[in-house]
Copies of this chain bind each other. A is one copy, B any other.
């Protein structure tokens, strides 16, 4: 490129040129393109453009290079992810339609009349379990009032009545357990349709947990009233408006039965009024999501599961993996829709109708960096129940947290197995094992929860999604569906 000279003859000549118009007519005004880069050259209209602009005027780095001063934003790739996800799923929808046509059919969705009748009977009978609890509690409270009327030496009286209290606790346990057992028995042997069975099973589990909470809370309130020496603890200020035994009424119990909580309190925080527009929106959401879930299950999940069972039967690993991964997407979508429908729409709508104030039915579980955080945040009603009535009592008795946690997850595992296994008539223990498997997962992912960096949290969160939604749920669904198919043959046959 030759040696340089500060001012060259050429540029000196150029600068000395006069500003005249020649015969060509094109060279009217001198143009002075700036050499500060190509973005904003100083150009006047009708001036002659010069092709000498120094486009490459300085050392610059590619923005993806490490040399670059500032990393560029990657928001565009987030948008691309959304676009690709939509495109991929749209394609699957078209593929599904080309392959199967429309599978959704309201009239074909038949069930035995017996299922509906028994289901309706169970739905009507199960709340009676809570009514029994009420009568037991009523008797206990009367007995307690009599004691207060009779005696002054409370310690003695309390100890004398120990048998009564034991008997009451026993009665509560028997009622609670037998209600759950009898209903599950009826569902397992007499309700064939898994949907109806699941609804009944959910109801009986909820009512059983409620009656358990009702009995335990009232027992402690009664103890507090009797002034047992060991009961020198404060009754929460919130309960002052309805002290024991004034809370033992049918009205109070009915409120607890209908309120979106599993934890009994004589008094709950309340909202001042019912916003019916709020209720309407939530119920509309719930109905829409329920329809979406039904459509997705019937059109996408059902044929997938049917195909998959053939592959499971011949144990072809590649095909099982392929089916599992395909199922995982639809399973995540159904799961998210179900979560929103139940925890946001249904429970919020119900809470609004009941003027129930505490709407923390979930916290932001989708950001969970570890399984521990997930289980504490996704289903707050069960979590608070377990914490109040299972975990904390054990901790107070000196158990270590791991042992107490194991008990909580064992109880939860039993309930999950009942919830899934009874309506599908397959108590194969997969749900039970899956819940117990959460314990090592919680321990394993605990370190992620303690990381402060966004990357660390993201890794933990991604691990959670993979384990839970991509591997866990499709696997569980496949296994129960396979067990169902193995027992009853294809779904269509059982409906015939």
Contact = CB atoms under 8 A, between A and B. Distances in A.
Contacts of A219: 51
A151 interface: no
B321 A263 contact: no
B232 A83 contact: no
A231 B30 contact: yes
A368 B235 CA distance: 61
A231 B219 CA distance: 102
Interface stretch (A38-46, A110-118, A414-422): A38-46
A251 B20 contact: no
A255 to B, nearest CB: 8
A240 interface: yes
A242 interface: yes
Contacts of A22: 155, 159, 228-230
Contact of A52 (B230, B235, B255): B235
A94 B220 contact: no
Contact of A242 (B4, B50, B79): B4
A62 B84 CA distance: 31
Copies in the complex: 2
A257 to B, nearest CB: 14
Given A221-B52, A249-B2, A14 B233 contact: yes
Interface in A13-37: 13-24, 26-28, 30-33, 35
Contacts of A53: 236, 388, 392
A246 interface: yes
A79 to B, nearest CB: 5
A398 B45 contact: yes
A325 B87 contact: yes
Contacts of A48: 230, 396
Interface stretch (A189-197, A353-361, A426-434, A478-486): A353-361
A285 B88 CA distance: 28
A102 interface: no
Contact of A76 (B11, B59, B269, B366): B366
Contacts of A7: 240
Interface residues of A, number: 169
Interface string A221-256: 100111111111111111111111011010110010
Contacts of A8: 235, 239-240, 243
A306 interface: no
Contacts of A361: 62
A261 interface: yes
A191 B268 CA distance: 83
Contacts of A43: 392, 395-396
B56 A11 contact: no
Given A27-B230, A30-B232, A47 B396 contact: yes
Contacts of A17: 227-232
Contacts of A344: 62, 64-65
Interface in A431-460: 454, 457-458
A188 interface: no
A329 interface: yes
A64 B340 CA distance: 9
What 10 pairs across the A-B complex have the smallest Cβ distances?
Answer: A27-B230, A4-B241, A35-B236, A8-B243, A76-B366, A49-B396, A30-B232, A91-B325, A59-B357, A13-B227
Given A5-B243, A49-B393, 5 more contacts: A14-B232, A38-B392, A62-B348, A83-B466, A87-B329
